[in-house]
Amino acid sequence: MPPNRDAAGGPVVHELDLKKLFRRKTRGFIQEAIRESPAAAKRERHFRLMRTTLMCLSVLLAAAAGVTVIPAGIAAWVTAALAFAGAAVTGFTTAFAPSKRAEYAARERVQWDDLANDSEIFLVKLDDLRDDDAEKAYIKLRSRRDDLTRCLEELALSEPTK
């Protein structure tokens, strides 16, 4: 058997090479979290602003509909316009679900921050871990990162096109 092959004939990955690979990949997780956490915070602010705007419109329309001092000649037209606008605001609120999306973006931001923190802890402890423990910890981090990335892809697919 050649010197750089294992019993199955595959290349031997030395302990230092494995930890070097984990270190490089984990730094990539941190960089991705640094990039994605502010993006999630921006989405959260966007949806909170949308929610506030739609709520204010809804309140204004309800208040306008409650005004009874409108002359009889235009009351039917104004009432119809207010009813249509109120229905549109309700439709937008239902379709965009800004409260739900803001909450989701806030949770996502926290998860990216937690992933970055846990990745940094992993990097500090990596040299002291046995290979199998290091591999398990790395796989767990990678799984969390993959779940977050998958959620981002699903969110992108559910977003209305601009």
Cα 47 to Cα 99: distance, rounded to the nearest angstrom: 7
Q: What's residue 15's pLDDT?
A: 53
Backbone angles phi, psi at 11, to 5 degrees: -70, 145
Beta bridge partners of 11: 5
Quickly state the pLDDT bin for 17 (edges 50, 70, 90).
confident
State whether residue 162 is helix, strand or coil: coil
Q: Residue 70 carries which DSSP code?
A: S
What does pTM read for this prediction? 0.71
Separation between Cα atoms, residue 149 and residue 162, nearest integer Å? 22
Q: Please, what is the average pLDDT of the chain?
A: 84
